Structure 1
Amino acid sequence: MTVLVTGASGFVGAEVTARLTAAGHRVLAVVHRNADLVRNNGRKLTAGPGLLTRLTGDITRPGLGLSDDDRRLAAGADRIVHCAAVTDFGLPPGRYERVNVEGTRHVLGLALGARTPLVHVGTAYVCGERDGIAYEDELDLGQRPGNDYEKSKLAAETLVRKAAADGLPVTVVRPSIVTGATRTGRVRDHKTVYPVLRVLTRGLVRTVPGHHDAVLDLVPVDRVADLVTEAATRFRDAEGRTLHAVGHELTLRDMSDVLAEYPSLHVPRFVPPSAFSATALPGRERPYYDRVVSLYAPYFRRRVRFDAAHAEAFGHRPPATGAHAYLRRLLDHCLATGYLGPPPGKEPAVRPDGSTHR
C-alpha cells in the first residue's frame, strides 16, 4: 500500500511514517522546510522494509505545492494521512487559518480528485470550553473554542465532515495533549504542555487561575501514532468513525501532588479563576503570565473528559492507566535533559514503577 503522509517530519507524523514503513508500506512523506525525519527517540528515521519517498511541498498552496511529477505520485496513493498542523499557541490567527484550515482544504482537494481515503488528525479539544463528557461523534455544538488553535482545528474538521458527506471516505483521529513516550517519558519536541510546565515548575509564575478538579488529558505520542497507523492500515474498519486518541487523565490536584514530590520543582498555587487578577501578580511574574501561562488558561479551567468508546473498540486497547507514574516519567526525562533546570548532581532513586525523582 502507498500512503501519503503530510507533516511527516512532525512529532506525530514521523512516528506514523516509521510504523508504516516498518509494516512494509511505501510512504510518500510530504515535508516542507525540514527534509530530515527524526523519530521521538532522536534518531533519524531509517525506512524499511517499506520504501520512503520524500516530497517537498507546502500544504498552504493548492496541490500541496508539489511538482508535477510529485503530484502524479500523490495521485496514486492508496491513503492520505493528514498530520500537518501548527500546534504552537499564541501565534497570529492568520497563521492557524493558512496552515490548519486552508492546508486541510488543499489536502481535501487532493483526496477528492482521486477519491483517496483520508485519515485526518485533529484534536480532542475541538470540544471547546465546556465541562462534562465530550463524545467522539460530537463536533459543532455551538461551543466556544479555547484559543485560535482550537478554533482552526474545529473549522478544519468541519471541512473534513463536509467532504465525507459529499462521499469522500474519511476517518478522524483526535489526540488530546500529545506528550512523551509511554515507557520512558522521552519527548523530541517540548511543545504542547511543556512550555507552561517549565514556567510553573521554575516558579516564574506562582499563582495561576484554575480549578483543582480541571482535567488535563496527556496522551503518549506512541499511543497516538499507533492509532493513526491502524486507522490507515485498517481503513475499512475505521471509515466513517471519529476516534479519540486520549491517554492519562490528571486533575490539577493530581499534578500538584506529583510536583510536590520533587524538591527542585515549584508547585504552583491554583486559585479559582473568578478570584484571580493578572494585575495583582508581582511585576517579574506578569510577563511570563502574559506570554505563556495565559495561553493555557482554558486547560486549567475545563472539567472535561473524553469518551473513547469507538477508539477502544476499534484498537482493542484498554484505557491508559497509571497517570501519576506516567507524569513522573515525563518530569524525570525533563529533569534529566535539563529542560526543567540543571539536573542535580546525584543519581536519582528508582521507584518500583520505573520512574525516578530527586
Structure 2
Amino acid sequence: MLRVLVTGAAGLIGGEVCARLAARGHAVTAMVRRNPEVRGNDGALVDGLRVVRGDVTLPLMGLAPEPQDVVMHCAAHLDFDAPEAELHAVNVAGTQNALDHAREAGAAFLHVSTAYVCGDRDGHIVEGPVPEGTCFTNRYEASKAAGERVVEASGLRFVIARPSIVLGDSATGAIRDFPSLCNVFRLMARGKVTRLPVAGGATFDCVPIDHVAEGLVALAERMDEAAAGHFHLVGDEPMPVAELAAGVARVPHFPDPEIVPPEGYEPEGPLAQRMIATFGPYFTRSPRFDDSRFRAATGLACPPTDRAWLDRLIAYGIKRGYLPSPPA
C-alpha cells in the first residue's frame, strides 16, 4: 500500500486517479482548493480517501507535511490565454511549493505535465528533457516546460508524466468535464464555424482519460524503476486534424464543415477568431510522440484512438447535451 497525496484532486485527471488509487487499496490524501468533491470520470464521489484543502500558490501548499510515499502533482492552470504571471504562479512557483511539501513529507514526486512541452517541434518527439531553445506556441506550454525544469533541479526522486490532449473514455467516450478542445467540435456542430483552417498532414495527439489515469497509477506504483524518467501518455496514433471536421460531418443533423488552407483564412466571427487564437498552431503541425519508455515501464498500451473512438466521443457529447441533439 502506498501513501499518496494527489494535488488537483477535484480536477478531471486528479479525480479519476484518486478513484483508481483508492480502488487498489492505496491510502489517498486528496488535496482540493475550492471544490471539496472528488469524483471519478463516471461522476461518482470517490470513497475511501481523505480530502484536505490546500493551495499550490502558498508555501508548502498551505499544508502541514505528513509522511507520504508519493506526491502526485496534478494541479495546474490550464488556460492557454492566461497572463504569464498567473501561469507562473501556479505552474512554476506552485510546482516548487509542491516539491517543497514533498521534501518535507519524505515523498517522491510524480509531476503531471503535458506532451505539448514539445512546443512547435514536428516529427519524432522522444521521452526526455525539453531541449534548450524550444519555441512554444502559447504561454501555457512555456509554463509547463518551466515547471518541468523546476522538478528536474529539485534533487528529489521524480517522474515526469506527459499526457497529450485528454478526451473521453476509450470504450464509451464518457468524460466528466469537457476540455477546451471540445469547443472546436461544439462550434462546428452548431454551425458557428463552417471552415476549419488546417495545414496538410497536421495532427492532434488525443488520449483517452482511462489510459492517462491508469498510466499515472502505474507510474506511482513503480517510482523506483521509473525514477528520473520522462514518459509520454499519448494516443496509439495521432489523429488528423481534418478528422475533427469529418467526424462532425458524419452526424446527420450536424453541418458539413469545410477544410481550407490556413493561408488567407479569415475567421467568420469572434468565436472563430478566438478558436484560431487558441488552437491555430495545433492545426498546422504534426508531432509524433514516442511512448516506448512508458510502455516498457508500465506494460500499458493505449487503446485505439481512431475514427470509431471519435464517433463515440461525439455521441457522448450529444447524449450529455453538450453537442446539439437531433431535431424532434
Normalised by the size of structure 2, how large is the TM-score?
0.94
In the TM superposition, what whole-angstrom CA distance separates every residue of 1:246-294 from its partner, at most 9, and x where no partner exists? 0142102333333321122234333332332x3xx4xxx3210233332
Q: 1:251 aligns with which of 240, 259, 268?
A: 240
> How much does 1:94 deviate?
2.3
In structure 1, list runs of 5 or more residues that go unmatched. 346-358
In 2: Cα distance, 1:300 partner to 1:269 partner: 14
Q: 2:172 aligns with which of 184, 187, 205?
A: 184
In 2: Cα distance, 1:253 partner to 1:292 partner: 15
Give the direction of change, closer, same or farther, for the CA distance of 1:272–1:138 in structure 2 (3 Å limit): farther
Give the direction of change, closer, same or farther, for the CA distance of 1:251–1:236 in structure 2 (3 Å limit): same
Please say which of residues 258-267 and 128-137 is displaced more in the overlay: 258-267
Q: 2:94 aligns with which of 99, 103, 125?
A: 103
Give the direction of change, closer, same or farther, for the CA distance of 1:87–1:206 in structure 2 (3 Å limit): same
- Does the CA-based 8 Å contact 2:203-2:239 persist in structure 1? yes
Please say which of residues 251-260 and 152-161 is displaced more in the overlay: 251-260
In 1: Cα distance, 2:298 partner to 2:180 partner: 25
1:199 is the counterpart of 2:187:
yes
Give the direction of change, closer, same or farther, for the CA distance of 1:316–1:207 in structure 2 (3 Å limit): same
In 2: Cα distance, 1:301 partner to 1:336 partner: 31
Q: 2:62 aligns with which of 65, 72, 76?
A: 65
> How much does 1:212 deviate?
3.5
Corresponding residue number in structure 1 for 2:44? 43
Corresponding residue number in structure 2 for 1:5? 6
- Does the CA-based 8 Å contact 1:212-1:251 persist in structure 2? no
Q: Which runs of 4+ in 1 moved over 6 A?
A: none
- Does the CA-based 8 Å contact 1:57-1:64 persist in structure 2? yes
Please say which of residues 190-199 and 247-256 is displaced more in the overlay: 247-256
Helix, strand or coil for the counterpart of 1:5?
strand
1:296 is the counterpart of 2:293:
no
In 2: Cα distance, 1:298 partner to 1:244 partner: 20
In 1: Cα distance, 2:223 partner to 2:40 partner: 24
| Greater C-alpha Rg | 1
- Does the CA-based 8 Å contact 1:16-1:229 persist in structure 2? yes
Corresponding residue number in structure 1 for 2:157? 169
- Does the CA-based 8 Å contact 1:11-1:40 persist in structure 2? yes
1:228 is the counterpart of 2:216:
yes
1:321 is the counterpart of 2:318:
no
Aligned length: 326
Corresponding residue number in structure 2 for 1:351? none
- Does the CA-based 8 Å contact 2:248-2:257 persist in structure 1? no
Corresponding residue number in structure 2 for 1:151? 142
Q: 2:290 aligns with which of 307, 315, 334?
A: 307
Give the direction of change, closer, same or farther, for the CA distance of 1:212–1:269 in structure 2 (3 Å limit): farther
- Does the CA-based 8 Å contact 2:113-2:160 persist in structure 1? yes
In 2: Cα distance, 1:310 partner to 1:267 partner: 40
In 2: Cα distance, 1:15 partner to 1:159 partner: 26
Helix, strand or coil for the counterpart of 1:29?
strand
Q: 2:76 aligns with which of 85, 106, 109?
A: 85
Q: 1:260 aligns with which of 234, 242, 249?
A: 249
In the TM superposition, what whole-angstrom CA distance separates every residue of 1:106-126 from its partner, at most 9, and x where no partner exists? 111122334421100000000
> How much does 1:141 deviate?
3.6
In 1: Cα distance, 2:301 partner to 2:175 partner: 23
Amino acid in the other structure paired with 2:86: R
In 2: Cα distance, 1:46 partner to 1:290 partner: 43
In the TM superposition, what whole-angstrom CA distance separates every residue of 1:49-83 from its partner, at most 9, and x where no partner exists? xxx111111001111012xxxx142xx11111000
> How much does 1:218 deviate?
1.0
- Does the CA-based 8 Å contact 1:179-1:192 persist in structure 2? no
- Does the CA-based 8 Å contact 1:212-1:270 persist in structure 2? no
In the TM superposition, what whole-angstrom CA distance separates every residue of 1:329-348 from its partner, at most 9, and x where no partner exists? 10000111221113455xxx
- Does the CA-based 8 Å contact 1:177-1:192 persist in structure 2? no
> How much does 1:322 deviate?
5.0
> How much does 1:224 deviate?
0.4
In 2: Cα distance, 1:72 partner to 1:308 partner: 34
- Does the CA-based 8 Å contact 1:128-1:145 persist in structure 2? yes
In 1: Cα distance, 2:167 partner to 2:85 partner: 26
Normalised by the size of structure 1, how large is the TM-score?
0.87
> How much does 1:11 deviate?
0.4
In 2: Cα distance, 1:96 partner to 1:159 partner: 14
- Does the CA-based 8 Å contact 2:170-2:303 persist in structure 1? no
> How much does 1:234 deviate?
1.6
Q: 1:116 aligns with which of 107, 113, 130?
A: 107
Helix, strand or coil for the counterpart of 1:231?
helix
Amino acid in the other structure paired with 1:84: A
Helix, strand or coil for the counterpart of 1:44?
coil
Alpha carbon RMSD of aligned pairs, Å?
1.7
